[in-house]
Amino acid sequence: MSSKTIVTYLVNGDATWIKTVEFSNRLIKWIFTSRKDFKGAKNRRELSNSWIYFLLWEDEEWKQLAYLWQATVLWKRLNDHYNDSKKDFWNTAVAFTYKDWTLNESDINYLERELITQAKSANRYEIKNWNWGNNWLIQEYRVSDMLEFIFDLKILLESLWFKIFKKLIPTEKIKNKEDLYFLSTRWSEAKMVFTNEWVVVLKWSKWPLEMQKGVLKNKWYSYRNRPLLIDKWIIREQGSTILFCEDHLFSSPSSAASFVAWASLNWWMEWKNIDNQTLDEIKRQEGV
């Protein structure tokens, strides 16, 4: 992928207030506003045009959630959300359009449906839309433009750490066993992929149901978080073991391994690749 220049404009010089983000040499543009700052954004002229937009927030368990919608006059739609007491859950709005205001109703209906589909497939955020968007006629040449729009949109979103469309693990990493590590200790059988967001423990990894005494006594990370992951159906009990029902991201190799093995050890040394090399040998000593 070629290098790109992204221009961020802080409307009043405050990084936490309204800002616009765009590529230096592309038509796509986005605007970011928090719910509390919306009144300062709604009078901006560009919000009278067609946009595709996201409402973002976290629930009480820090799970990331989003709505994806489209609007022919953005400030009116956001104003409705702002004033609706039944929609007071969101805390951030981000919206995308073309700088020359050429997005039309067919475009944004196509974008809404395609983005909802891709976001649900990525499974990083819980997408709260109750439907999949509208079926809409769009000319063939315009589909190519919209796919390019989506490609650019994803880069801009991820540049500010909104990973709505980023899948946990690139398929080729598992297929080629690149950055794939194994843990076979304390009767645990787990696989982990090392990514640029730390580590993902893979579906079907398993470990004993019974916790070690030290874990119970000290109420370590695994003790505190097991009920949360069970409630979300990320893990489940199966006989005398616990099993991952889906891939799950952890913030460090130690937190991943301590959850799986119910122990506190140097897990940089416990995760090993197919050649029996430790994660420490391969990654940390290289400065990764």
Judge whether 78 and 34 are in contact, CB under 8 Å: no
**pLDDT reading at 213 higher than 90:** no
- Count Cα atoms within 13 angstroms, Cβ side, for 242: 18
- pLDDT computed for residue 246 by the predictor: 84
Higher pLDDT, 158 or 62: 158
The region that residue 62 occupies, defined by phi over 0 for left and psi between -120 and 50 for alpha, beta otherwise, is left
Residue 22 backbone phi and psi in degrees, to 5? -155, 160
Q: What value does the mean pLDDT take over residues 254-276?
A: 72
Higher pLDDT, 190 or 21: 21
- pLDDT computed for residue 170 by the predictor: 58
Per the listing, tokens 């290098």 go with 3
What lies within 8 Å, CB to CB, of 203 at 6+ separation is 244, 245, 246, 247
**pLDDT reading at 110 higher than 90:** yes
**pLDDT reading at 153 higher than 80:** yes
pTM above 0.75, yes or no: no
- pLDDT computed for residue 174 by the predictor: 61
Model confidence at 219, pLDDT cuts 50, 70, 90, reads low
Give the DSSP H/E element, type plus range, for residue 206.
strand 206-208
Rounded Cα–Cα distance for residues 30 and 53 (Å): 9
Judge whether 51 and 29 are in contact, CB under 8 Å: no
Structure tokens at 171: 């398929």
- pLDDT computed for residue 184 by the predictor: 63
Nearest one of 252, 201, 254 to 229, comparing CA atoms? 201
Buried b (16+ CB within 10 A) or exposed e, 235-267: beeeeeebbbeebbbbeebbbbbbbbbbbbeeb
**pLDDT reading at 265 higher than 70:** no
- Count Cα atoms within 13 angstroms, Cβ side, for 268: 10
**What sign does the CA torsion over 162, 165, 168, 173 have?**
negative
Structure tokens at 220: 């370590």
Rounded Cα–Cα distance for residues 59 and 257 (Å): 26
